[in-house]
Structure 1
Amino acid sequence: MSATRFSPSALFPVLLTLAISAICGGLAELAGLPAGWLMGGALGVTVAAMLGAPVAMPARLRDLSFILIGMSMGASVAPDSLTLLASWPVSLTALALELVVIIATTGWMLTRFFGLDAGTAYLSSFPGHLSFILGIAATGVGNARQIVIIQVIRILMLTIAVPIGAVFLPVDHFSPPAPDAFLGPLQLLALAGGCVAMGLAFVWLKVPAGMVLGAMAASTAAKLGGLYTEAMPIPLVIFTFILTGALIGSRFIGITRVEFMSAALGGLIATAMTLSIVTAVALGVAQLVDMPFGQIWLGLSPGALEGMGALGIALGYDTAFIAAHHVIRLLMLSFAIPAVVMLVRMQERAAQDRRI
């Protein structure tokens, strides 16, 4: 039995993916779009994957992107973040209500107008926790391929919608504060080591999005503890955005155009409904708390934590607020998903009994 050897040809798809993300991200940045490196990269890799280009995002590179996002989010935490805690009960209550409305309305829409079975419709309507959802789908609940397509469309459209909204809508966004000092090589290595260790610990504890959250926890604790005050080097931040764009776009690998088109319309309508609900709820919360509308929107948005966190960095928002709300959203979904699946199962059994 021969040992598995590294093949240089296996490196080409990875380099191609990063090159596409970098080129498309750079073009979006030159066009003046906020978060251009992230949005352009995600869109470019998505198109390449759908056209059948040999793109790839290995697990190790994915984990590296998670670590870098967590480090960057922690380094971007505002020193006065804790002063916003008093306003969090309002936004967290809105988050809970928003989740109920999103799941109920989009799940109903997918069953009523697109003829999806209840399992596929409601697992597709959950705004987040994709790995948990696919694990349940693998047990025989719903159509896993359609669920993946609808969920990935949601993540991609949210990544694109936020920067475009920042350009064309009256939404406050800020350039990240210009740092006067950057972390040196030894500081970066020490910080990265702590982030990796905490990320692995969170993964071992089965914390949702453990690698990202563990890295952010270590980076935030070190910053608030006074171990460093410098910012992440700008080239490293850009590289983080390129990696994150490639990560988001690579989720379309393996999805054929036929499969995509069969589920795309329902996914786009479900995403549009979700965006409308989030925007309405965020507008309501903005009347009650003193913080930028865009920051509230990112905190309440049902996008992937790594994507929304990177957008928060690019748009100059408080990453502590955004991360905390996404963590709590995932925890809420951890209880909501099994509960809804049980209700779906009960409805299916009742329907079978009636047919008998």
Structure 2
Amino acid sequence: MPLPQPKNFLVLLLTLAISATGGGIASLLGLPAGWLMGGALAVTVAAMAGVPVVLPDWLRTVVFVLIGMSMGASVAPDSLSLIASWPISLAALAVELVIIVATTGWMLSRVFGLDAGTAYLSSFPGHLSFVMGIAATGVGNSRQIVIIQVIRILMLTIAVPIGATFLPIDHFEVATASAFLSPLQLILLALGCVTVGWIFERLRIPAGMVLGAMAAATAAKLGGLYSEAMPTPLVILTFILTGAMIGARFVGITRQEFMAAAKGGLIATAMTVGIVTLMTLGVAQLVDMPFGQIWLGLSPGALEGMGALGIALGYDTAFIAAHHVIRLLMLSFAIPAVVVIIRWQERRSAQQRHN
């Protein structure tokens, strides 16, 4: 493997410094998940301003493993006893996905004049890699789709901590740990997480590295192999890296491209947040869980971002991860089905024009 070029290494250090600075400021201001939200916003602004930012693929893999480890180490001991109440929220998740895709896809098509492929692929709440893979085959405008989708991820990462600060929402305080994993425990846990993550990726499981790492860390914790928490500096580093990863997705997007798709993306995200919030209000009347935890489980953000927020806000990461896995599975069937319908309508319209 070739060594990284000095210039690329300096750009990476700059990216991490920007994320750490933004995260540090947000944390000093007392914002929940400040290291994550502030870092993501700072790197996004830097990328849009033309500052060179980068997060290499190998470091993204490290981020996924760290997030999975942190989520597994944060699983509540009584998570398994709460599974009986999950069917209610999972049913709400299925209904919510249909409403989000139908309403935001219609809005982007009718109000902003996007073609059906671009509008509906932009409206799917998640599974970005799958969506972009289909867009690459010629369905929709891939540049507009990625801008709208990345806006959704960024705005959700920012909206949740702000909502937890200013809205009258009950949420758990992050438990203060008294014992932390030793370096040897961390190394052994990381090896197990990487191994299971690699297996998940080979099996083509969505978000395989994150889910595999979390599965290994969760199994080890519930199996009694460890009970200690992740060291605080390592958790902060995970948030800084995750913020940089989210913000770096804006690299290569010009201001003109961003402005052309930003209005539709912001409105679609606002509609999505409204739908998720209303659905969460309904579920919260039926299950005994914090509003914010249910919201993160139903939210259409990226698994790594929502999982990191769950850790920072003290929620049950098992609940959050399970709902995001089910959402990805639902989308795996829904996305191809909608694309088939779009193609059928395009062929039908073409035949009508020909006749």
Same fold (TM over 0.5): yes
TM alignment of 1:285-300, pairs within 5 A:
285-300=283-298
Pick from 179, 182, 185 the counterpart of residue 183 of structure 2.
185
Deviations 1:57-96 (A, max 9, x none): 1001111000000000000001000111111100000000
Pick from 113, 138, 147 the counterpart of residue 149 of structure 1.
147
Structure 2 equivalent of residue 209 of structure 1: 207
- Distance across 1 between alignment mates of 2:290 and 2:147: 32
| TM-score normalised by the chain length of structure 1 | 0.99
1:227 aligns with 2:247: no
Structure 1 consecutive aligned stretches of length 4 or more whose deviation exceeds 3 Å: 3-6
Q: For 1:120, what is the secondary structure of its paired residue?
A: helix
Relative to structure 1, the CA distance from residue 293 to residue 4 in structure 2 (aligned partners, 3 Å threshold; closer, same or farther) is closer
Displacement of 1:6 in angstroms is 3.7
Structure 1 equivalent of residue 18 of structure 2: 20
- Distance across 1 between alignment mates of 2:5 and 2:197: 30
**Aligned positions, number:** 354
- Distance across 2 between alignment mates of 1:81 and 1:40: 30
Displacement of 1:175 in angstroms is 2.3
- Distance across 1 between alignment mates of 2:7 and 2:156: 34
Pick from 337, 347, 350 the counterpart of residue 348 of structure 2.
350
Unaligned runs of 5+ in 1: none
Letter in 1 for 2:142: A
Displacement of 1:5 in angstroms is 5.7
- Distance across 2 between alignment mates of 1:75 and 1:163: 21
> Percent same amino acid at aligned positions?
76
Q: For 2:75, what is the secondary structure of its paired residue?
A: coil
Q: Is the 8 A contact 2:39 2:244 kept in 1?
A: yes
Q: Is the 8 A contact 2:121 2:131 kept in 1?
A: yes
Structure 1 equivalent of residue 332 of structure 2: 334
Q: Is the 8 A contact 1:66 1:211 kept in 2?
A: yes
Q: Is the 8 A contact 1:283 1:293 kept in 2?
A: yes
Relative to structure 1, the CA distance from residue 5 to residue 329 in structure 2 (aligned partners, 3 Å threshold; closer, same or farther) is closer
Q: Is the 8 A contact 2:172 2:290 kept in 1?
A: no
Q: For 1:186, what is the secondary structure of its paired residue?
A: helix
Deviations 1:232-281 (A, max 9, x none): 00000000000000011111011110100000000000000000000000
Relative to structure 1, the CA distance from residue 75 to residue 4 in structure 2 (aligned partners, 3 Å threshold; closer, same or farther) is closer
TM alignment of 1:234-249, pairs within 5 A:
234-249=232-247
Displacement of 1:4 in angstroms is 5.7
TM alignment of 1:42-191, pairs within 5 A:
42-191=40-189
Relative to structure 1, the CA distance from residue 118 to residue 172 in structure 2 (aligned partners, 3 Å threshold; closer, same or farther) is same
Q: For 1:114, what is the secondary structure of its paired residue?
A: coil
Relative to structure 1, the CA distance from residue 7 to residue 327 in structure 2 (aligned partners, 3 Å threshold; closer, same or farther) is same
Structure 2 equivalent of residue 269 of structure 1: 267
Structure 2 equivalent of residue 37 of structure 1: 35
When the two chains are superposed, the root-mean-square deviation of aligned CA atoms in Å is 0.8
Q: Is the 8 A contact 1:175 1:314 kept in 2?
A: no
- Distance across 2 between alignment mates of 1:122 and 1:97: 17
| TM-score normalised by the chain length of structure 2 | 0.99
Deviations 1:147-169 (A, max 9, x none): 00000000000000000000110
- Distance across 2 between alignment mates of 1:56 and 1:103: 32
Q: Is the 8 A contact 1:149 1:267 kept in 2?
A: yes
Unaligned runs of 5+ in 2: none
Q: Is the 8 A contact 1:46 1:250 kept in 2?
A: yes
Deviates more, 1:167-176 or 1:115-124: 167-176
Pick from 302, 305, 310 the counterpart of residue 304 of structure 1.
302
